[in-house]
Amino acid sequence: GSSTLMYKSHDQDKEYVGFATLPNQVHRKSVKKGFDFTLMVAGESGLGKSTLVNSLFLTDLYKDRKLLNAEERITQTVEITKHTVDIEEKGVKLKLTIVDTPGFGDAVNNTECWKSVADYIDQQFEQYFRDESGLNRKNIQDNRVHCCLYFISPFGHGLRPLDVEFMKALHEKVNIVPVLAKADTLTPGEVKKKKIKIREEIEQYGIKIYQFPDCDSDEDEDFKQQDHELKESIPFAVIGSNTVVEAKGKRVRGRLYPWGIVEVENPAHCDFVKLRNMLVRTHMQDLKDVTRETHYENYRAQCIQSMTRMVVKERNRKYAHAEGREK
Amino acid sequence: MSKTEDVPNMLISDMRTEIPFVRPKPAVPAKPPNVGAPSPSSPFPPQGLGVGGGGISAPPPSAIPVPIGSHGGSHSVGHGIGHSVSHAGSHAAPHSGGHGHGGSHSSSGGSTLLGYIGIDTIIEQMRKKTMKTGFDFNIMVVGHSGLGKSTLVNTLFKSQVSRRSAGWARDEKIPKTVEIKAVSHVIEEGGVKMKLTVVDTPGFGDQINNDNCWEPISKYINEQYEKFLKEEVNITRKKRIPDTRVHCCLYFISPTGHSLRQLDTEFMKRLSHSVNIIPVIAKADTLTIEERQEFKQRVRKELEMSGIEFYPQKEFDDDMEDKSDNDKIREAMPFAVVGSDKEYQVNGKRVLGRKTAWGIVEVENPNHCEFAQLRDFLIRSHLQDLKEVTHNIHYETYRAKRLNENGGLHPISSADTQESNL
């Protein structure tokens, strides 16, 4: 947990060095610099991805979007689109980039439709790798994808073949956080059953989704409990909304049905709050760290290996060629 | 000949009108024995019906005229025809209309019927026969897994009739290709027996590559037509050809709120000419009322743009009345439905519904979803029409195609008829 930093002045104490203030200094510098975060959303259209993104970050990123009809979408391949928005809250600046994958899973034949998504992720790694190895590293732009929210349809009986293929193609390139979309379609019992089924299938197919770091043994019980609940909530059953409705005298973000009002931020209704807290308030940094330390490093190692192999091959070829000429 | 108890409720006339109560009986008009020869001015030509001249050989016991004064609308079963018969001087009056009162007058109402023939009793005879033999209805459900197809069919017919309930494992694995699974049940209501066959299509649209996944379905539908055709063309035909043809195909649209998917239009385009397709928006409790209206409009527009003629097809409207009824239905389609086999208590009543943390979705509440409309349309008003369109149009199209290719079908060429030649 983030313990509040106590900044005590111990100047009188001769043995006090003072680097306990380091976190504070880092904190201050980062605040000045600002943070960035790249979030990818993937899943077939109509699962509420855009609405959820807008709800999570209280923005209206998709204001001018035009929905294509079935005829228009026939020739669509999977596109990759980027929307960037600068958000500031209490003096902290966040440059948020949302990467969307319109067209995913929409065709009749969706063979390898994840390829453009995988290629995009690799391209960002490649660009970073180049920049990192380059001479001028002052203003490296980090466009690497830190997290991919994968939307699972609530209408299936668990994971569909496309879901499995996508996640397996990407689980070693990006942090996958599965969400159960449009969860207001399901009764509480159905949500529970589906979550269990999906978790079982994820394990069964060997899909490596983002793992929440285990909390330290010295954390307090409350935090441990929260952490445990978080792990049990996967996939997050989410509902998004761009409209405010009146419920019990208060105004809430929600969806108005003839049979009742779904409140997006009510933990009894869905896991929206859990997801938002996880994504923004507790695990944003960890998501970035895992991207840097694991996914990117894997890519880099592979890259270097294949480059080395190519170099060796080329050298051997030249050598053989030269030898051949000598003879 | 028809006994009292057999008179169906629907033939009891309204007592408040002057329409005399008629019982189904043979086509012999009842007349009092004292009626003489028709006057020359009578519009009734002498016919073998026994008018005038007392040509009735043996009036059936039921032809006893009702005494004067009764307006004929006697509610008690078992009286003869209308009142006018008993009046002296009047001719054997036609059963329609309360005329014949007083005086010998000629043409009552200008009807050319000498009396009541009883053609309308055909309805009753058909009804009785239908009740005895029962009828077949075959419904196919198409859509990818998890859209609530089985639950909806169970809810429609208030019975456990889907594949699920026939003992199939609940959450089966998605099959690799589209399978066709038909399950039949006989259900009964009000003395009427229906053999309902639900044809499920697991695997449709579930794969990564769904190219041509409609082919097994198209093949199945044509196979049923072929079966029927072979029977029809046989020399010795069964009295009642078993009808396995698909009368109705419910196509389940996923409630994305955006528009139709490519697979939806591909399927419906290809199959709307060989089977009655009724598109429905599945799991409609995902959409708010506003979203539902927008979605419906978009879907209808797309259906129109793609030239998909769903049932009830405009070109088959018989008359203005049909057209206006069907127009209303077409405007409201596709119906946004919710299915459920669980009951909950709402306002003191037990209703079928889905219970969520924020309320109970009532399946049969028209403010919540359009299930009731779909049910009324499918079962209470258009069930027979679905069968007729299948038989008279889709089947005939198939038959014509078959007969035109390879010089047509011979009864002789059918292998079954070898035995019949013996």
B255 against B19, higher pLDDT: B255
| B206:A161 CB<8 A | yes
Shortest CA gap B326–chain A (Å):
26
Residue A319 token pair = 């050598």
How confident is the model over A111-117, as a mean pLDDT?
89
| A185:B306 CB<8 A | no
A297 against B40, higher pLDDT: A297
Say if residues A259 and B368 touch (Cβ distance below 8 Å). Answer: yes
Contacts 24+ apart (CB under 8 A), B360-365: B360/A259, B360/A260, B361/A257, B361/A259, B361/B285, B362/A259, B363/B155, B363/B338, B363/B339, B365/A258
At A205, the pLDDT band (50, 70, 90 cuts) reads: very high
| B306:A188 CB<8 A | no
A153 has a chain B CB within 8 A of its CB: yes
How confident is the model over B143-152, as a mean pLDDT?
91
Q: Does B216 have pLDDT greater than 50?
A: yes
Query: Over the stretch B36-95, which tens digit does the pLDDT of each residue have?
Result: 443 444 333 333 333 333 333 433 334 333 333 333 333 333 333 333 333 333 333 333
- Chain B CB contacts of A263 below 8 Å: 358
How confident is the model over A199-204, as a mean pLDDT?
94
Q: Does B129 have pLDDT greater than 50?
A: yes
At B248, the pLDDT band (50, 70, 90 cuts) reads: very high
How confident is the model over B236-241, as a mean pLDDT?
77
pLDDT at B233: 81
Shortest CA gap B196–chain A (Å):
26
Quick one: angle between helices B215-233 and B262-271, nearest 10? 10
A257 has a chain B CB within 8 A of its CB: yes
pLDDT at A318: 87
pLDDT at B14: 37
At B275, the pLDDT band (50, 70, 90 cuts) reads: very high
Shortest CA gap A70–chain B (Å):
5
How confident is the model over A6-28, as a mean pLDDT?
63
Residue B377 token pair = 């349309």
B112: which DSSP letter?
Answer: -
Closest CA to B287 of A236, A63, A239, A43: A239
User: A interface mutation test: which of B356, B360, B370 has the most A CBs within 10 A?
Assistant: B356
Q: Does A249 have pLDDT greater than 90?
A: no
Q: Does B418 have pLDDT greater than 70?
A: no
pLDDT at A180: 95
* Rounded Cα gap, residues B33 and B51, in angstroms: 10
Interface ipTM: 0.75
Q: Find the distance separating the first CA and the last CA of chain A, reported in whole Å.
A: 71
* Least reliable range by pLDDT among A144-153, B268-277, B342-351: B342-351
* Counts for chain A of helices (H) and strands (E), in that order: 10, 9
How confident is the model over B280-284, as a mean pLDDT?
94
What is the distance, to the nearest Å, from the Cα of residue B344 to the centroid of all Cα atoms in its chain? 31
Q: Which residues of A270-309 are buried (b: 16+ CB within 10 A; e: fewer)?
A: bbbbbbbebbbebbbebbbebbeeebbeebbeeeeeeeee
pLDDT at B220: 95
A47 has a chain B CB within 8 A of its CB: yes
Q: Does A25 have pLDDT greater than 70?
A: yes
Give strand ranges (E) for B92-213: 135-142, 181-189, 192-200
| A165:B208 CB<8 A | yes
How confident is the model over A148-166, as a mean pLDDT?
92
Who contacts A313 (Cβ-Cβ below 8 Å, separation ≥6)? none
Percent of chain A with pLDDT over 70: 87
Considering only alpha carbons, which residue of chain B is nearest residue A267? B357
How confident is the model over A23-44, as a mean pLDDT?
81
| B282:A158 CB<8 A | no
Shortest CA gap B244–chain A (Å):
30
At A73, the pLDDT band (50, 70, 90 cuts) reads: low
- Among the partner-chain residues A68, A108, A158, the one whose CB lies closest to the CB of B263 is A108
Q: Does A260 have pLDDT greater than 60?
A: yes
pLDDT at B167: 47
pLDDT at B54: 37
Considering only alpha carbons, which residue of chain A is nearest residue B266? A108
How confident is the model over B144-149, as a mean pLDDT?
90
* Rounded Cα gap, residues B377 and B393, in angstroms: 20
A255 has a chain B CB within 8 A of its CB: yes
Q: Does A28 have pLDDT greater than 80?
A: no
In whole numbers, what is the pLDDT of chain B averaged over residues? 72
At B200, the pLDDT band (50, 70, 90 cuts) reads: very high
Torsion of CA B5, B6, B11, B14, to 10 degrees: 0
| B208:A255 CB<8 A | no
One-letter identity of residue A262: V
Q: Does B21 have pLDDT greater than 50?
A: no
Residue B233 token pair = 């063309």
Q: Does A77 have pLDDT greater than 60?
A: yes
A319 has a chain B CB within 8 A of its CB: no
Characterize the bridge pairing of strands A176-180 and B359-362: unpaired
- Chain A CB contacts of B146 below 8 Å: 153, 155-157
B5: which DSSP letter?
Answer: G
pLDDT at B2: 40
* Rounded Cα gap, residues A116 and A99, in angstroms: 12
At A166, the pLDDT band (50, 70, 90 cuts) reads: very high
B332 against A64, higher pLDDT: B332
pLDDT at B384: 87
> What's the pTM value of the predicted model, to 2 decimals?
0.72
How confident is the model over B92-119, as a mean pLDDT?
46
| B361:A45 CB<8 A | no
At B355, the pLDDT band (50, 70, 90 cuts) reads: very high
A315 against A70, higher pLDDT: A315
User: A interface mutation test: which of B163, B178, B209, B362 has the most A CBs within 10 A?
Assistant: B209
Shortest CA gap A187–chain B (Å):
5
Q: Does B390 have pLDDT greater than 90?
A: yes
Query: Over the stretch A207-230, which tens digit does the pLDDT of each residue have?
Result: 999 988 877 677 778 777 877 888
Q: Does B7 have pLDDT greater than 60?
A: no
- In sequence order, the β-bridge partners of residue B140 are B199, B249
Q: Does B115 have pLDDT greater than 80?
A: no
| C-alpha dihedral sign at B127, B129, B133, B135 | negative
Q: Does B412 have pLDDT greater than 60?
A: no
Who contacts B182 (Cβ-Cβ below 8 Å, separation ≥6)? B138, B197, B198, B199, B200, B244
How confident is the model over A283-299, as a mean pLDDT?
88
Q: Does B188 have pLDDT greater than 50?
A: yes
| A184:B286 CB<8 A | yes
What distances in angstroms separate CA B44 from CA B47, B58, B59, B85, one per listed residue?
8, 21, 20, 15
- Of the spans A22-36, B44-58, B102-116, which averages the highest pLDDT? A22-36
Count of positions (residues) in chain B:
422
* Rounded Cα gap, residues B145 and B162, in angstroms: 14
pLDDT at B289: 92
* Rounded Cα gap, residues A62 and A66, in angstroms: 9
pLDDT at B103: 37
At A35, the pLDDT band (50, 70, 90 cuts) reads: confident
| A260:B355 CB<8 A | no
A75 has a chain B CB within 8 A of its CB: no
- Among the partner-chain residues A46, A47, A185, the one whose CB lies closest to the CB of B285 is A185
Quick one: angle between helices A115-133 and A161-170, nearest 10? 10
- Among the partner-chain residues A68, A155, A261, the one whose CB lies closest to the CB of B254 is A155
B301 against B240, higher pLDDT: B301
In whole numbers, what is the pLDDT of chain A averaged over residues? 83
Shortest CA gap A118–chain B (Å):
17
A residues 160-219 lying closer than 8 A (beta carbon) to B = 160-162, 165, 182, 184-188, 197
- Among the partner-chain residues B174, B301, B358, the one whose CB lies closest to the CB of A260 is B358
At A59, the pLDDT band (50, 70, 90 cuts) reads: confident
Shortest CA gap B257–chain A (Å):
6
pLDDT at B112: 52
